[in-house]
Amino acid sequence: MATRAAVQPSGTDRAVPLGLPGWMAPQVPEVDQWNIILTNRCNLHCISCSYPDQRPFRYVRRETIARYLPRMLDHGVRRVMLTGGEPCMHPDFDDIVDDLAAADVDITLVTNGTYLGRKLPRLAGKLARLIISLDSDTADGYASIRGASAFDHLTGLPARFRKESPDTHLTLCVLTQRLNFRRLPEFVELAAGLGVDHVSFLVPDVAGMVAPTERGGAFGHVAALPDDRVEQVALTDAEVEEFRERVIPAVEAACARHPELTSSSLDLLRDFADYFAAFRTGRARPERRRCALPFREVVLDEQERFRFCFFMPDAWPAAGVEDPVNHPGVVAARRDYLETDHRLDRFCNMCLQARRVEAAHP
Ligand code: SF4
């Protein structure tokens, strides 16, 4: 574990705590991925998300992406992730995808999938990776978590994509919460039956549901959500134990039956249990590790701001930024993150992105 005491002597521009890779430095020559929150607009009403309540609707302009794309390419970016809100609701979505495809970057689309049926002919062959948030293995479960009746449409998509866009890597993701945690093994079986490439396990940002400013307003939260909504999502202490003792072994057994589906997120399930337990007790999770995301990825949000990461409040309007990878604000924030522990303790402790990004950047 990196500690303040382990920070290298100051006076260099690479004050990297011992044990961390050398590319974790205030200035980075290269980044791997550009994450673009295309819009705050969404057509669903998931219980752990506030984007559908946000007004006004905001959209990253196509010309803003076009302006920064060459700089991103200069910095080595070869992957762009489009997310939201629901990114397909951006009025220029098709043209933005075309622009990125013309630049020969790998495009990952994170979507609720409800627009994909009509978008598929235009998207075919352009996406490297498609991640569909499904969250349930049944139509009723889907409707109770995501507030819509789209399950049958969504479960028909993998076969269509396989046929019309065979090189697109398909992932179904499930946001682990009270309404679905017992059915994660069945979710794995559903995914196997649909013939997708991967299952990805995620966890809702329950910390942001009760303290949005502490989590950078992620998932559109601007005010604390009512207790009853949080209670629908966060596992209780008894459920955490059930999850640890009974459900996780069953998920592991399901994944063992379908090893081709298993991604590194399977290893996160025990972290999910720790995460919900920490949320209930208000005590910090035992693990502390610095996160690679601010050093390997760039986030542009729906307000056209570059951000330190998805979950910290630091954000800089894109309009004043020449170099999106090493502008003075983010360099100072990276240095602070490396040399002190306060961001680590305040923001990263209730975030599992560090593990996720670490898995993506071994
Ligand atoms: S762990 Fe979360 S809060 Fe910390 S830097 Fe990574 S994404 Fe941001």
Taking the centre of ligand 1 as the mean of its atom positions, its distance from the CA of residue 276, in whole angstroms, is 17
Domain that residue 316 falls in: 33-357
- If you ran DSSP here, which 8-state letter would residue 104 be given? T
Round the CA-based radius of gyration of the chain to a whole number and report it: 20
Indicate which atom in ligand 1 lies nearest the CA of residue 292. 6
Q: Tell me whether residue 69 is in a domain.
A: yes
The parts of the chain modelled with pLDDT lower than 50 are: 1-15, 362
Q: What is the pLDDT of residue 361?
A: 53
Taking the centre of ligand 1 as the mean of its atom positions, its distance from the CA of residue 139, in whole angstroms, is 33
Q: What is the pLDDT of residue 108?
A: 98
204: domain CATH number?
3.20.20.70
Cis check for the bond before 85: say yes or no (omega within 30 of 0).
yes
Ligand 1 pocket at CB < 6 A: 291, 293-294, 309-312, 347-348, 351, 353-354
Q: Tell me whether residue 50 is in a domain.
A: yes
Which of 348, 349, 350, 357 gets mutated to test ligand 1 (max ligand atoms within 8 A of its CB)? 348
The first and second tokens of residue 101, run together, are: 């495809």
Taking the centre of ligand 1 as the mean of its atom positions, its distance from the CA of residue 127, in whole angstroms, is 26
Taking the centre of ligand 1 as the mean of its atom positions, its distance from the CA of residue 309, in whole angstroms, is 6
Taking the centre of ligand 1 as the mean of its atom positions, its distance from the CA of residue 213, in whole angstroms, is 14
State how many domains the chain has.
Answer: 1
Tokens 């002190």, located at residue:
340
Indicate which atom in ligand 1 lies nearest the CA of residue 215. 3
Among 254, 225, 211, which residue's Cα sits nearest to residue 351? 211
Indicate which atom in ligand 1 lies nearest the CA of residue 357. 6
- If you ran DSSP here, which 8-state letter would residue 322 be given? S
Q: What is the pLDDT of residue 198?
A: 95
Q: Tell me whether residue 6 is in a domain.
A: no
Q: Tell me whether residue 9 is in a domain.
A: no
Q: Tell me whether residue 24 is in a domain.
A: no
- Pairwise CA distance, residues 168 & 183, whole Å: 27
Q: What is the pLDDT of residue 21?
A: 81
Q: Tell me whether residue 43 is in a domain.
A: yes
Cis check for the bond before 249: say yes or no (omega within 30 of 0).
no
Which of 31, 81, 308, 312 gets mutated to test ligand 1 (max ligand atoms within 8 A of its CB)? 312
Indicate which atom in ligand 1 lies nearest the CA of residue 351. 2
Q: What is the pLDDT of residue 49?
A: 86
Protein residue closest via CA to atom 3 of ligand 1: 348
Q: Answer whether 300's CB lies under 8 Å from 55's CB.
A: no
E strand or H helix that includes residue 79 = strand 79-83
Q: Tell me whether residue 248 is in a domain.
A: yes
Q: Tell me whether residue 4 is in a domain.
A: no
Protein residue closest via CA to atom 5 of ligand 1: 291
- Pairwise CA distance, residues 20 & 338, whole Å: 10
Q: What is the pTM of this model?
A: 0.92
Which of 310, 335, 337, 342 gets mutated to test ligand 1 (max ligand atoms within 8 A of its CB)? 310
Which of 20, 24, 351, 358 gets mutated to test ligand 1 (max ligand atoms within 8 A of its CB)? 351
